[in-house]
Structure 1
Amino acid sequence: MKKMNFVLCAVVAVFLILAGCSTQSKVEGGATAAPSATTDTKAAAGKMTIGLSVSTLNNPFFVTLKDGADKAAKEAGATLVVVDAQNDTAKQISGIEDLIQKKVSVILINPTDSDAIVTAVQSANKANIPVITVDRAANGGTVVTHIASDNVKGGKMAGDFILKTLGDKGNLVELQGIAGTSAARDRGKGFHDAVDGKAGVKVIASQPADFDRAKGLSVMENILQGNKDIQAVFAHNDEMALGALQAIQSSGKNIAVVGFDATDDAVKAVNDGKLAATVAQKPASIGDTAVKTALKVLKGEQVEKFIPVDLELITKK
């Protein structure tokens, strides 16, 4: 009997020791390690949804901008929701209202029209959703920051290059972007700052082609019919420049064409000696910077009211 009691006590003692070891393992060896700062940052970003309203994804420039934003969002662990306005202001406003209803954390807006977009910016303001504009500005509402190239500087770069190429002498044509956009206004201003008032230089035609290649072609065809003596064309974007180039090639004339954006097609045309030059705006950097700035804003960090992205004039190497 004493022997049985001894065995029973020994078994109980072993069980208690094992239980104690098991409890210690859960508290010490089995506990989850504290997350690193990087893990914390990504976890926080993972709760953030960034809305991007883009003017059109039918333009290579804005596709590249969207891709830059998407890459930055994925790297941060944030979610990017993209709505394509297809160059329709009403559609853009509706898309932004949808983003507001989805309660996104911040909205990046690339306006189709700088004036018309104001109501959508104000709607986001009322919903306490921060707004950041990219490439094109909004002419009202509260915007935390604007991220873009210096379009005035870019237009002047194009104008200065044309003057240098022509030896400060010749008749020029300007193909304007969509009326009401800050990009069209600012690029045009920079161009005219460079060429206006120069003796021997005259802008004989300045017409809108809405940042569209097909319209660039048709507008340039019409200009060529009424003007035989043209030495250079400045287009507010590469799509219009490439359309104008097609019209010029069909006419058999030799006219220098300068675009803006440095899309893949335009850079190839420059290197092939067809386009004289294009101003590189680096859209992927704009998209990347926009997302990274949005994350800073959501963390409560202060950002500048205007964040510029560098420009570069691309000519044949």
Structure 2
Amino acid sequence: MDFPRKVAVAALSASALALTAACGSGATGSGGDVTIGLAVSTLNNPYFVELKQGAEEAAAELGVKLTVVDAQNDATNQVNQVQTFATQGLKAIIINPVDSKQATPAAKAAENAGIPLVAVDRSVDEGKVVSEVASDNVQGGSLAAIELGRATSGEVVHLQGIPGASASRDRGRGFEQGLNSGGIKVVASQPADFDRAKGLDVMTNLLQANASIKGVFADNDEMALGAIKALGDKAGTQVQVVGFDGTPDGLKAVEDGTMTATIAQQPKVLGRKAVEQAVKAAKGEAVQQVVDVEVKVVTKKNLAEFKK
């Protein structure tokens, strides 16, 4: 399986491991004073709300305290939040980077404080992490191209996520790899930052220059839903749309027929597994360096398997 993610796994010093083991020994039961920080890229997106919920459920079951901060898609703000975490005596930190490259100072702050760092959903380009919990976004991008190629042929556009996010890069890379599976050709690619409103605006502009497009791939469901609004009656009829994430709104669009398919991730599972690894790291136990969570294509045919 192709893994383009750069996972820099820290070999923590013996002293640091001893410290985290001592501090994290109460990570089960009542949890004692064990607190883990979760720095989320944004909570203005139902996908990351679900990731947070999964993390909170795992923390409650494991008896640890989880402190959650929202970077509101501001990479500088997120670095500041993690730097603050590093001064608060937390036993582990989980980061869902706004920007994988710009998360490096955050990783350095955790390293300098001797606090194990877990990356979830997106990688940290340069920095020490003890575990990376993520979907195989390259595979997901390839599956999206294959599904779009099955649904239509001709010119398509690609709505990209935040340019610096590993998920954007990996989904785009996978999409390019899967293009040879059908008769579709990308005529325009433009970021819409994983945002529904921006997806609407970008799609509206792209339609003016590409009126004959037959398909859209969006790096997440939010942008896909914005594109669907811009397309109006064309969505699902003249223009096929494929999203990514499998959010409740995305699944509803698949049910309605305005979205051809979405590549479903499991955000609650991602959040849960990130906390599980963070607690192990806090206790000085062995962690799984790479945790992959499966992605699946959702269409009307198998929609019932994913509806909650």
Shorter-chain TM-score tier: 0.7 to 0.9
Query: Which residue of the partner structure matches residue 178 of structure 2?
Result: 194
Contact 1:149–1:281 (8 Å) recurs in 2: yes
**Residue number among 115, 127, 136 corresponding to 2:113 in the alignment:** 127
1:175 is aligned to 2:175: no
Query: Which residue of the partner structure matches residue 260 of structure 1?
Result: 244
Query: Which residue of the partner structure matches residue 162 of structure 1?
Result: 148
CA deviation after TM superposition for structure 1 residue 98, in Å: 1.5
TM-score between both structures, scaled by the size of structure 2: 0.86
The letter of the residue matching 2:95 is: I
Question: What pairs with 1:126-275 in structure 2 (closer than 5 Å)?
Answer: 126-166=112-152, 169-196=153-180, 200-249=183-232, 254-275=238-259
**Residue number among 279, 282, 290 corresponding to 2:263 in the alignment:** 279
**Partners of 1:151 and 1:41 in 2: CA distance:** 31
Query: Which residue of the partner structure matches residue 37 of structure 2?
Result: 51
**Residue number among 77, 80, 93 corresponding to 2:79 in the alignment:** 93
**Residue number among 58, 62, 80 corresponding to 2:66 in the alignment:** 80
Q: Which blocks of at least 5 consecutive residues in structure 2 are unaligned?
A: 1-25, 302-308
Q: Secondary structure at the match of 1:171?
A: strand
TM-score between both structures, scaled by the size of structure 1: 0.84
Q: Secondary structure at the match of 1:207?
A: strand
**Partners of 1:199 and 1:280 in 2: CA distance:** 21
Q: Secondary structure at the match of 2:188?
A: strand
Change beyond 3 A, Cα 1:71–1:170: same
Could you say which structure has the higher helix fraction? 1
The letter of the residue matching 1:277 is: A
Q: Secondary structure at the match of 1:259?
A: strand
Question: What pairs with 1:106-117 in structure 2 (closer than 5 Å)?
Answer: 106-117=92-103
1:302 is aligned to 2:286: yes
Contact 1:179–1:210 (8 Å) recurs in 2: yes
**Partners of 1:96 and 1:299 in 2: CA distance:** 20
1:154-186 per-residue CA deviation (whole Å, 9 max, x = no partner) reads: 0011011111222xx311110000011100000
Change beyond 3 A, Cα 1:84–1:117: same
Q: Which has the higher contact order (CA 8 A, sep 6+)?
A: 2
Q: Which has the larger radius of gyration?
A: 1
Alignment RMSD: 1.7
Q: Which blocks of at least 5 consecutive residues in structure 1 are unaligned?
A: 1-39
The letter of the residue matching 2:251 is: V
